[in-house]
Structure 1
Amino acid sequence: MICVEHDATGDVRQKVLGPNPPLVWVVLGEEAIRRPVGGPDVLRGQLLRLHELAELDHVTLQIMPINAGAHPGLGVEFVMLHLAAAKATFAYVESLTSSDYLPRPKHTNAYSLVFDRLRVAALSDADSLALINDHIAALENRK
């Protein structure tokens, strides 16, 4: 689950690394940092990139540990977009065959509540970074 606050439209990916970047808050399931899609070297590279991004001042990265069990976001992927200039908030959801922006308060309020609960249940940003570093070290020790 990702929450992005931005003051203009455009390519969020480009703006995250540029001047005046948006605030980005990510809650990522631990499974995503453990699953070696592409092999251990690819996973190591991905974890190094996450580490690099997590150290940026405008990025908060939290890991939802596997041992947290069931949580409100289990099986649900979504992005919360807050556009300050437009004074608008959207929940963006994707499924296997479609995607949708949900602008109505009944949707954005529900997704915002789930995101808030996920942030509370997830590891702190410092503990999340430590977990990422532990996985990087474990992959390097396998070589």
Structure 2
Amino acid sequence: MAIEIRGIDNLLKRLNKLSNLETKETVLEVAKDMQEAIQNKASSFSENADEIKAFEPRTYGNGSTYIDVGLKNGDSDWEKIKGLYFQNYGFNDYGWNFKGQYYITNHLMWFNEAVQSAENDCKSKLKVKLKQEIQKCWNE
């Protein structure tokens, strides 16, 4: 007695397309949106907001793509980004005879605030674009 399964080739072809789904461009596009949101926040108090970047994407394993967005000491000039860094964590003011007794916290944790404010928009955009990619692979 023989069993006949119809459409298995079509199913395997679709699953193969899904396993090779190209997500790098989508993640890069969303990373650029996050970069713009962080730069907008930083530009309110710094002239070096353009030092905030979406760095080169890294792909691991079965196609997982990661992109660092923000400041990287190895890829940026420290003299330009140190103001952004110290504004995020606060600093002791040693100028004009203060001798460090004033701890400056005007923009404390500005980076986290910028990321959290753009997080939901970026996640939803990423979700929509990946759904479109999946639908495109499934319907071909």
TM-score w.r.t. the length of structure 2 is: 0.29
Give the structure with the higher percent helix: 2
Structure with max Cα Rg: 2
